[in-house]
Amino acid sequence: MSFLNGTKIAVIGGGSWATALIKILCEQNNVQIRWWLRNQKDIEHIRKYHHNPSYLSDVVLQPKKIKVFEKTTDAVKGADYVILAVPAAFIEEALQDLSVKHLQGKRIVSAIKGMIPGQNILITDWASERFGIELKDTCVIAGPCHAEEVALEKQSYLSIASTECPAAEDFAKLMTCRYVAANPLDDLYGVEYAAIMKNIIALACGITHGLGYGDNFQAVLVSNAMQEIGNLVTALDKRERNLSSSAYLGDLLVTAYSQFSRNRLFGNMIGRGYSVKVAQLEMKMIAEGYYATKSIYEINKLYHVNLPITHAVYRILYEEQAPGMVMDDLKKVLK
């Protein structure tokens, strides 16, 4: 199945990543983008001025290729692909008006690096179950890529993962342009879990940086983190995978070191003494790692993988233990 001629793509979400993905899609000839955002003021502004006023406001949104909708039921009409780009904690609410019939025959693409909080399930599993879509008709957009650098047209790479490479290959073509190379791979679960885990690690990087730890410590933290991610991903989905490739290690590195990282910024505020509530209020953006920390902590009760960094972040965010004391404990077990 190839949709490339005159492909219709619904994009659900109005944040930085949705805006960046739309910019990439607009680079293709012959695409129609059907965009749903929840904020009515943003919708009106985009229709009138062709910029998203709230996120990546410099990006020009090509009106000939983009139609903006108030209702998800209208946005998904006739779409070949439906891209989900709302933070995981809000996706159930965002899609509440959609039922099985609305998404029949469509491919679901998750651009979300998070899990459904409370249920602790992957977005592709959730979407597949909720909308009766076969897992092979879902894929994820992952890899080390910040929306802000896409906006600046800086060379970037994406990993498009599905259970079967051909499905990922089709979508990867749509995500490839002058400044983005998208590579397909067939490790849906591994890529999804690794992307969730790296957000927790970025929180730890931010927390320790906020506490005054330096680059020497962070290098060790990130090396240990890669082992922690590998051990968990293998326990959850055992198969051969090259964890040092950009879909896994690359994504960890960009989030751990970039000035643009939401999770690192959130962690940094916690390290500098902000409470979770205040840090959330200060940030207009969403740090997925906050929710992921709880999900992974709960999932791991069944798997008993040694996850010292995740546990340290959990103690700080959910047990309100002092970041300095928790990191004193963590530094003793890192090697």
Ligand X SMILES: NC(=O)c1ccc[n+]([C@@H]2O[C@H](COP(=O)([O-])OP(=O)(O)OC[C@H]3O[C@@H](n4cnc5c(N)ncnc54)[C@H](O)[C@@H]3O)[C@@H](O)[C@H]2O)c1
Ligand Y SMILES: O=P(O)(O)OC[C@H](O)CO
Strand ranges, E, within 24-177? 31-36, 66-69, 81-84, 107-110, 115-116, 121-122, 138-142, 156-161
Measure the CA angle with vertex 190, ends 186 and 196; round to 5°.
130
Cα–Cα distance, 280 to 275 (Å, whole number): 9
Q: Select from 52, 156, 162, 199 the one that contacts ligand Y (CB under 6 A).
A: 199
Minimum CB distance to ligand X, residue 62 (Å): 19
Question: Residue 207: which residues within 8 A CB-CB, separation 6 or more?
Answer: 267, 268, 270, 271, 313, 316, 323, 327
> For residue 106, what is the DSSP state?
P
Least Å distance, CB 329 to ligand X, is 28
User: Is residue 158 at the binding interface for ligand X, with CB under 6 A as the rule?
Assistant: no
Q: Which two tokens stand for residue 286?
A: 């969403």
Residues that bind ligand X (rule: CB under 6 A) add up to a total of 26
- Pick 287 or 330: Cβ nearer ligand X: 287
Q: Which of 107, 146, 241, 315 binds ligand X (CB under 6 A)?
A: 146
Interaction between residue 116 and ligand X (CB under 6 A)? no
Known catalytic membership, residue 8: no
- Residue 263 within binding range of ligand Y, rule CB under 6 A: yes
Contacted by 107, from ligand X, ligand Y, none: CB < 5 to 8 Å by type: none
Q: Note the Cα 184 to chain centre separation in Å.
A: 17
**Interacting residues with ligand Y between 113 and 172 (CB under 6 A):** 113, 144-146
Work out which of 9, 10, 11, 18 binds ligand X, going by CB under 6 A.
18
Site residues (vs ligand X, CB under 6 A): 13-18, 38, 55, 85-88, 90, 93-94, 111-114, 145-147, 262, 285-286, 288
